[in-house]
Amino acid sequence: MADYKSGRLASDITRIISGMLPRLKDPRIKDRLLTVVRVELTRDRSVARIYLSSLNGIGEAREAVKGLESAQGLIKREISGVLGIKKAPELRFIADDSSEYSARISRMLKELNLPGEDTVDPEPDSDTEEQDA
């Protein structure tokens, strides 16, 4: 039951913060292409780690983290109000580069030009060679 509540709370926090991002006026956040990648809660749900990524790279995500840390009080009040809870978890914002990393891996794999399964040349069958001799 606790896992279900934690999962639901994490999902709600993701939704609330994602909805707040366009409304925040801090220049480090405003007009940035930010995404809440995931939210992880501690077992007692007292701390929420919010992972953010930016389409413009990890540098912009790190700047946004600084802005979000300064707006933490406002964000916690919004979470408490929307969810009707007395105490919102402590928010820890983390710049996440996993999408950038996976895109880089994809580019590297494409550059390898590995042949597809349908273009692999089958090895000659040794039984066939012996019969031909």
Higher-scoring residue by pLDDT: 90, 133: 90
Interhelix angle 2-20/72-83, rounded to 10 degrees, is 120
Which residue ranges make up each domain of the chain?
Answer: 2-101
pLDDT tens for 60-100 read 999 999 999 999 999 999 999 999 999 999 999 999 987 66
- Indicate the average pLDDT of the chain: 85
What is the mean predicted confidence (pLDDT) over 113-121? 59
Which pLDDT score, from 0 to 100, does residue 106 have?
Answer: 80
Q: Is this prediction's pTM over 0.75?
A: no
| Domain 2-101 part of CATH 3.40.50.720 | no
The answer to whether the beta carbons of residues 21 and 29 sit under 8 Å apart is: yes
